[in-house]
Amino acid sequence: MNAQPQMNGRFRGLLLGLIVVLPVLLFWNTLTVTIPSGHAGLLFHTFGDGVDVEEAPMMSGFHFKAPWNKVYEYEIRQKERMEALNVLSSNLLKIEMDMTIFYQPDLAQLPQLEIERGRNYEEKVITPAMRSVAREVIAKYLPEEFNTTKREEIQAEIEAELSAKLAANYIQLNDVLIRNIRLPRTLEEAIERKLQQEQESLEYEFRIEKAAKEAERKRIEAEGIRDFQEIVSSGISEELLKWKGIEATAELANSPNSKVIVIGSGEDGLPLILGGD
């Protein structure tokens, strides 16, 4: 007689379990969310104030949420964007160039980015900012300055201004690359002619300098020879010449060759050497 109430209790427990578990199974996708790697999620409170700026973003992984709330996913990895730009220089000549930037959302300010700019912030913020900053900076320089050391200065200025503009929109700028700068063809030819003339001028100056140094070298060499001759001539006397003649005669007298030496018969009393084998 106790079996029937026991079966009824088990049935009620199973029914209660189904009542609890079945809705969970049916609404599992609305109760949980999985944030993929390299992304973050912002919880939108449907019956609250939407995205809470004080609430930290959900990082990658598994999360529970109320079924009536939503989660907005943002890619927080570094991203790349390239723009082909047409800008005007300070003398109003058109310059074409490619600008590539590397950026990512500022994770700490991700709620503000969602509220004020939205998930399509790249079209609303990044592209207009790239074009605006490029035009403002390039308008300060002459086209020929792009082929000098000022190219690095121009790129650094673009990076500084673009970084500030993106930071004001909750985006972190990591790097800027300026590539493929194309000047008007007539200007490129004029720059090439100018550079060629400068090279020819430098070569001519080098030749003049080289000739001047060679002339100076020869002058110094001539002065050295002159000084040497003056020193030698001032140091040679008649007595020295006679003594050197006697020394030479003595050396010849000791040589094996036959000869006749007449002492005191030469000019200035020097020995006179007659013939030999």
Predicted pLDDT of residue 152: 87
3-state secondary structure of 218: helix
For residue 268, the model assigns a pLDDT of: 54
> Is 88 in contact with 94 (CB distance < 8 Å)?
yes
Query: Is-above-0.85 flag for pTM?
Result: no
95's CB contacts (< 8 A; 6+ apart) are 86, 87, 88, 89, 138, 143, 146, 181, 182, 183
Mean pLDDT score across all residues of the chain = 79
In this predicted structure, what is the pLDDT of residue 143? 81
Higher pLDDT, 107 or 93: 107
Q: Which amino acid is at 261?
A: I
Split at pLDDT 50, 70, 90, the class of 191 is low
Residue-level pLDDT at 83: 92
Rounded (5°) CA angle 235-239-245: 100
The whole-angstrom separation of Cα 13 and Cα 201 is 102
CA angle 25, 30, 36 (to 5 degrees): 110
Residue 53's φ and ψ, nearest 5 degrees, are: -70, -20
What whole-number distance in Å separates Cα of residue 53 and Cα of residue 178?
Answer: 36
pLDDT of residue 25: 53
- The pLDDT-based confidence of 106 (bands split at 50, 70, 90) is very high
Q: Which CATH superfamily is domain 79-183 in?
A: Band 7 domain (3.30.479.30)
Which pLDDT score is estimated for 205? 81
Name the residue ranges covered by the structural domains of the chain. 8-75, 79-183, 185-235, 238-274
Query: Average pLDDT, stretch 38-46?
Result: 91
Radius of gyration of the chain, Cα coordinates, nearest whole angstrom: 49
Q: What percentage of the chain exceeds 90 in pLDDT?
A: 32
- pLDDT of 135: 92
